[in-house]
Amino acid sequence: MSVESSSPDYDVIVIGSGIGGLVTATQLAAKGAQVLVLESYLIPGGSAGYFERSGYRFDVGASMIFGFGKQGTTNLLTRALDAVDMSLDTYPDPVQIHYHLPGDLELKVHRDYEAFIQELSDRFPHERKGIRKFYDECWRVFNCLNAMELLSLEEPRYLMRVFFQHPLACLGLVKYLPQNVGDIARRTIRDPQLLKFIDIECYCWSVVPAELTPMINAGMVFSDRHYGGINYPKGGVGQIAQKLVEGLEKKGSKILYKSRVKQILLKNNKAVGVELVNGKRYMAPRVVSNATRWNTFESLLPSETLPPAEQSWQERYQKSPSFVSLHLGVEASVLPQGTECHHILLEDWDKMETSHGTIFVSIPTLLDPNLAPPGYHIIHTFTPSWIDQWQGLTPKKYEAQKEEIADQIIDRLESIFPGLEAGLDYEEVGTPRTHRRFLNRQDGTYGPIPKRKLLGLLGMPFNRTSIPGLYCVGDSTFPGQGLNAVAFSGFACAHRIAVDLGL
């Protein structure tokens, strides 16, 4: 919608308080900008939010958190909090994932790198050299990233500075930027089952197999789990957003809840502000959308303004599935001694990418018992699901389908946790419709995935858009999905805007 000239209320408006949006906002507030964050829900965080039921504090999304390391430059959550004089106590997780895979393939990804390589090599002794070579190559990617400050690749002075400071690291990243994991893995590994394992290593965070997963992302994830480690925030994942908001407000900026944006306002095809569903308008020379690109360009802007660059992007990427989520409270006796916090269960390799094929499990109370009543644990389990199968149902059929699929998931989890059903104390089921409703994500999607094999990350857009004054941040911008990845996009977005504002 085109509007008449109006004096700006803020320097920057951020639509949505997901981690990408909050990192953008806090980085700018720390530089002196006046920022307004508009959140449609009651609390911040989006997919990194929380809710409370019957004495349990549940994470909305997964509890496998990267970015809380104490060294290097890839500890982006630590750095984001520090920028606004905030910090969080965390619990280190000794194992990233305990895999339960076809063919009785039981493996743990230990925080200790050598312990992980040893366990994987013992399972595939004929691939010992190939395993070492592949994962060491992931380290080379990570070391390139971890040598430099991660800011906007759209800012020429930053690129020149970082190249002169770290020329070998930059050249290394240029080499890997157009490459995917599958191609690199197949250079050194031949065993089909081991290649399937690398597929699910990628799928557990990218929702696509190795062939479609950019090597830059894998280098970060496969190495940082051993370098900075997986660390769970005390009080739950929702504390990350809460602390960022606290820091934002201390720096003199503002967040408004129950403030759903209806549209981004344009003047001479330039973003100049937003209008809420209640008609209230806020003006700013810079607007940041932490919504998905589909929501941003198909819902918040007039359809006739869809730029050619966005049309091209939608030809390359599609919406990933959403999830069916079970938030369970269970008796502590259900979990055997030595149970790890995170699990992945898959019984058939052919079903890895299908609806309800792969089951993800987080048990955060193994790290922070205070999230549940004494004598109980939280089991948050989720599995991919497309919204199509949840559309057009009567309320009765919708509830029946939720119950049916929840029962199937619990039944499958009995293979890991015998007695799970008998030990249930609380159960709540979410569907793709739940994700769409509460997170304002089109079709409840987890984020974009390639429609076909692309050249690594070269197809992923940066923060600036074809509309002057409008930026995007979050999982549909470089470098993609995951809490630390969207924090990266937040650092990059804030850096680009700060340069544009002359801060």
Q: Confirm if 303 and 29 have CB atoms less than 8 A apart.
A: no
Answer whether residue 392 is part of any domain.
Answer: no
How does DSSP assign 320-337, residue by residue? PPEEEEEEEEEEGGGSPT
Q: Confirm if 420 and 414 have CB atoms less than 8 A apart.
A: yes
Split at pLDDT 50, 70, 90, the class of 155 is: confident
Answer whether residue 401 is part of any domain.
Answer: no
170 plus 214 within the same structural domain: yes
Residue 170: what pLDDT?
Answer: 78
Answer whether residue 297 is part of any domain.
Answer: yes
Answer whether residue 83 is part of any domain.
Answer: yes
Average pLDDT of span 385-399: 95
Which amino acid, residue 154? Answer: E
Q: Confirm if 274 and 13 have CB atoms less than 8 A apart.
A: yes
How does DSSP assign 293-311, residue by residue? HHHHHHTSS-GGG--HHHH
Answer whether residue 474 is part of any domain.
Answer: yes
Residue 94: what pLDDT?
Answer: 96
78 plus 132 within the same structural domain: no
pLDDT tens for residues 57-72? 999 987 899 999 888 8
Report the alpha-carbon distance of residue 44 to residue 46 in Å, rounded. Answer: 6
Report the alpha-carbon distance of residue 176 to residue 180 in Å, rounded. Answer: 8
Report the alpha-carbon distance of residue 292 to residue 470 in Å, rounded. Answer: 13
pLDDT tens for residues 28-86? 999 999 999 999 998 898 888 899 999 999 999 878 999 998 888 889 999 999 999 99
Q: Confirm if 86 and 239 have CB atoms less than 8 A apart.
A: no
Q: Which of 184, 201, 228 is the last residue of a domain?
A: 228
Split at pLDDT 50, 70, 90, the class of 311 is: confident
221 plus 301 within the same structural domain: no
Residue 3 confidence (pLDDT) above 70: no
Domain membership of residue 19 as a residue range? 12-47+67-88+233-317+455-501
Split at pLDDT 50, 70, 90, the class of 6 is: low
* Torsion, CA 476, CA 482, CA 486, CA 488, rounded to 10: -120
Average pLDDT of span 434-438: 89
Q: Confirm if 482 and 320 have CB atoms less than 8 A apart.
A: no
Which stretch of DSSP H or E encloses residue 229? none
pLDDT tens for residues 161-176? 777 787 887 787 788 8
Answer whether residue 372 is part of any domain.
Answer: no
124 plus 217 within the same structural domain: yes
Which stretch of DSSP H or E encloses residue 354? none
Residue 4: what pLDDT?
Answer: 56
Residue 2 confidence (pLDDT) above 70: no
Q: Which of 228, 249, 281 is the last residue of a domain?
A: 228
Residue 148 confidence (pLDDT) above 80: no
Reduce the DSSP state of residue 254 to 3 states and report it.
strand
Q: Confirm if 227 and 112 have CB atoms less than 8 A apart.
A: no
Start-to-end Cα distance in the chain = 29
> What CATH number does residue 472 fall under?
3.50.50.60
Looking at the chain, the whole-number percentage of residues with pLDDT higher than 70 is 97
Answer whether residue 433 is part of any domain.
Answer: no
Residue 174: what pLDDT?
Answer: 81
Report the alpha-carbon distance of residue 5 to residue 407 in Å, rounded. Answer: 57
313 plus 460 within the same structural domain: yes
Q: Confirm if 220 and 147 have CB atoms less than 8 A apart.
A: no
Report the alpha-carbon distance of residue 428 to residue 210 in Å, rounded. Answer: 33
208 plus 240 within the same structural domain: no
128 plus 199 within the same structural domain: yes
Residue 471: what pLDDT?
Answer: 96
Provide the number of structural domains found in the chain.
2
Instruction: Classify burial at 7, counting beta carbons within 10 Å of its beta carbon; exposed 0-12, middle 13-18, buried 19 or more.
Output: exposed
pLDDT tens for residues 331-366? 999 999 999 999 999 999 999 999 999 999 999 999
pTM: 0.92
Average pLDDT of span 300-321: 85
Q: Confirm if 284 and 12 have CB atoms less than 8 A apart.
A: yes
Closest Cα to residue 244, out of 74, 67, 367, 71?
67
176 plus 257 within the same structural domain: no
* Mean pLDDT, the chain, integer: 92
Average pLDDT of span 427-437: 93
223 plus 254 within the same structural domain: no
Q: Confirm if 56 and 193 have CB atoms less than 8 A apart.
A: no
pLDDT tens for residues 233-266? 999 999 999 999 999 999 999 999 999 999 999 9
Which residues are CB-neighbours of 46 under 8 A, at least 6 positions away? 16, 17, 18, 19, 21, 60, 241, 290, 439
pLDDT tens for residues 445-460? 888 888 888 876 777 8
Q: Confirm if 500 and 160 have CB atoms less than 8 A apart.
A: no
Q: Confirm if 35 and 253 have CB atoms less than 8 A apart.
A: yes
189 plus 258 within the same structural domain: no
Average pLDDT of span 290-306: 86
Answer whether residue 281 is part of any domain.
Answer: yes
81 plus 37 within the same structural domain: yes
The first and second tokens of residue 51, run together, are: 């809710």
The first and second tokens of residue 88, run together, are: 């969080």
Which residues are CB-neighbours of 241 under 8 A, at least 6 positions away? 17, 19, 22, 43, 44, 45, 46, 48, 49
Residue 503: what pLDDT?
Answer: 84
Residue 108 confidence (pLDDT) above 90: yes
Q: Which of 228, 263, 295 is the last residue of a domain?
A: 228
Q: How far is CA 41 from CA 22, 24, 45, 436, 439, in A?
A: 14, 19, 9, 12, 8
263 plus 211 within the same structural domain: no
Residue 1: what pLDDT?
Answer: 54
